[in-house]
Amino acid sequence: MTKCLSRRTILRGIGAAVSLPLLDAMVPAFASTTRAASPLRLAFIYVPNGIMMDEWTPADEGANFELPRILTPLAPHRNNVLILSGLTQNTGRALGDAAGDHARASATYLTGVHPKKTDGAGIAAGISVDQVAASHVGTATKLPSLELACEDGRLVGNCDSGYSCAYNNTLSWRTPSTPLPPEVNPRLVFERLFGAMDENPMDRGKRLRNEASILDYVFEDTRRLAGQLGPSDHSKIDEYLTSLREIERRIQFAEKDDSQIQPSFEKPSGVPADFADYVRLMFDLLLVAFQTGTTRVSTLMLGHEGSLRAYREIGISDAHHPITHHSGNPDLIEKVVRINTYHMQQFAYFLGKMKSTPDGDGTLLDHSQIVYGSGLSDGNQHQHNNLPVLLAGKSGGRHITYAAETPMNNLHLALLDRMGVHIDSLGDSNGELFQ
């Protein structure tokens, strides 16, 4: 086995002293993927309202650990999963902003930036790791990234204690003020990935040319409009122009790319009623997006922070969020553990499919970095440290505990590094977790 030392063995930034136990154990998880001919994919799978950590964290470190109850569905994939303990998203803590831990949990999960506490005016978090990756590797694909969720974010009212729902509804922030809403309808995901399957090449060419000419006109018209506006309107118009440019890129991409991708399954008709069917269908779509090279970067939220979903499929009719505030009640704890395990069963299904999908010289899972976890550890007390984090990919089979308070964003930097995106810092990172 070859081991590679980092080019930058001294970590940058103020957190250079962060201890990196079992650094060498990490190498096989990543090293081979960087050399593979197939590009590396990156996905974040999010579950809301924390996890019962007692039933998640293995008792032992290293390779010889027993899978705790919530992780038992991963048994067949044990050697593809690293369990990373000890990571913290400090920016999710109140830091003087009082309540709102749920909103902050999702807003900081991939950004590492403490979000501005506002119910409307001046929404701001930070650019998220998936979007950093998308801005680099996404130019090579039809869609730079794909944001998915298995829960509609349409609830009204304050989403959490004075935070706009924008903070709960997505993990992905293209800029500090532009959250990217996820798609929740499998049919629409399919249409985004594969477009109108029945369009003939001539119609398609004509449509793309027409779209390009419309965009040209609108660019010009918007410039004229912007000239008439005060500075306060510019942020929204800039956002509009940026989105317009992205669409222009997609049209140019589509004009060059006349290979019609044939999806391997039928177009879904809508949202399945059964939760497991729903999640699995979204996982299937994510997989096919990766497999066909339609995108390399994705986020998928199984639910939003504060989710009130009642998991009747497994006999739980209480809403999820309230029972995570279990106050130590064993009956409620048992229900939360069952929900956590149920989610994990769906993730295991996804890993199984990724593993059985050939890709280049290996499988799709070999060429992917899939992070699974939540922005809270203990949902009862809203803890932002020692987060539940799994990293699935080509290899694994180890449980690694980092020093307390190691920023979660150090993991993000490492993931980016593996994607060939070398940046010095992201959010509150203080070094790279491992290389």
Q: Which of residues 195-214 bind another protein (CB under 8 A)?
A: 207, 210-211, 213-214
Kindly tell me which residue out of 237, 261, 276, 403 binds another protein, with binding defined by CB under 8 A: 237
Asked if residue 329 binds another protein (CB under 8 A), the reply is yes
Nearest to another protein of 4, 217 (CB atom): 217
370: which strand partners? Answer: 43, 392
Nearest to another protein of 157, 201 (CB atom): 157
List the beta strands (DSSP E) in 188-333. 297-301
Find out whether 322 and 173 touch, Cβ atoms under 8 Å. no
Q: What's at 137, amino acid-wise?
A: V
Positive or negative: CA dihedral 216, 218, 222, 224: positive
Interaction mask 284-313, another protein, x per CB under 8 A: ------------------------x-x-x-
Least CB distance from residue 164 to another protein, whole Å? 4
CA separation for the pair 284, 130 (Å, rounded): 20
Least CB distance from residue 16 to another protein, whole Å? 30
Q: What are phi and psi of 29, to 5 degrees?
A: -65, -25
Interaction mask 335-374, another protein, x per CB under 8 A: ----------------------------------------
Q: How many residues does the chain have?
A: 435
Mark the segment that binds another protein (CB under 8 A) among 46-54, 150-158, 253-261, 353-361.
150-158
Q: Which of residues 93-122 bind another protein (CB under 8 A)?
A: 93-94, 98-101, 118-122
Residue 97 has which token pair?
A: 């902003």
Mark the segment that binds another protein (CB under 8 A) among 147-155, 287-295, 335-343, 403-411.
147-155
- H or E element that contains 253: helix 234-256
Asked if residue 165 binds another protein (CB under 8 A), the reply is yes
Q: Which of residues 216-235 bind another protein (CB under 8 A)?
A: 217-218, 220-222, 224-225, 229-230, 232-233, 235
Kindly tell me which residue out of 123, 302, 392, 421 binds another protein, with binding defined by CB under 8 A: 123
Task: Please give the C-alpha separations between residue 390 and each of 67, 258, 342, 361, in angstroms, as whole numbers.
Answer: 13, 38, 16, 24
371: which strand partners? Answer: 44, 391
Q: Give the count of residues interacting with another protein (CB under 8 A).
A: 83
H/E/C letters for each residue in 209-226?
A: HHHHHHHHHHHHHHHHHH
Asked if residue 380 binds another protein (CB under 8 A), the reply is yes
